[in-house]
Amino acid sequence: MDSHGQGEQRVVWGVVDSDIGPLLLAATREGLVNVVFHATDAVRDRAVERLASRLGTEPVEAPGSPLLTEAIHQVVAYFAGERRDFDLPLDWSLISGFNREVLRELASGVPYGTVVGYGDLAGRVGQPGAAQAVGMAMGANPLPVVVPCHRVVESGGGIGGFGGGLETKRRLLALEGVLPEPLF
């Protein structure tokens, strides 16, 4: 129980440097709730405002918070090539319905160093004709990198889209050994 009452939501956030640029990580008592790419000042400010609006409380910058410590440690280890899987509690409150179902399947069923097609992932959740809806779910993913939407590609061999930008997706796939490292 905190000084404001038992049921109050607490959201903390911090920015972590990574090989793909600064990442904003936000967590609640339930777990990691949001990862935001390219967390420059303007992007960070918009993300914090969005979290406040969606979660009903003002997020607090607290990168040393116990709510964030393990998430930051695991993200840093992932980019250092020392971690392949994330073992973190996740707060799924920013996503629901079909999108949540697809993202949970992605998180549990598509391991490091592998990829899955949009249509294949749709089939795994019992909606074989919903490849486009899976693409929308990937775009709505509030936990990229940790819930690895970068591992979802086009069935014909194309890389597909990516909310963090195609270069970011290529770099994540290269980190996992799916694509060769860029020459330049």
Give the residue numbers marked as catalytic: 149
d(Cα 145, Cα 163) in Å, to the nearest integer? 11
Residue 90's SS3 state is strand
* Strand pairing class (12-16; 23-27): antiparallel
Q: Is 60 helix (H, G, I), strand (E, B) or coil?
A: strand
In three-state form (DSSP H/G/I as H, E/B as E, the rest C), the secondary structure along 148-172 is: CHHHEECCCCCCCCCCCCHHHHHHH
DSSP state of 32: E
DSSP, residue by residue, 101-114 = HHHHHHHHHS-TT-
For the record, the structure tokens of 20 come out as 């793909």
Give the Cα separation of 129 and 89 in Å (integer): 31
Residue 176: strand, helix, or coil:
coil
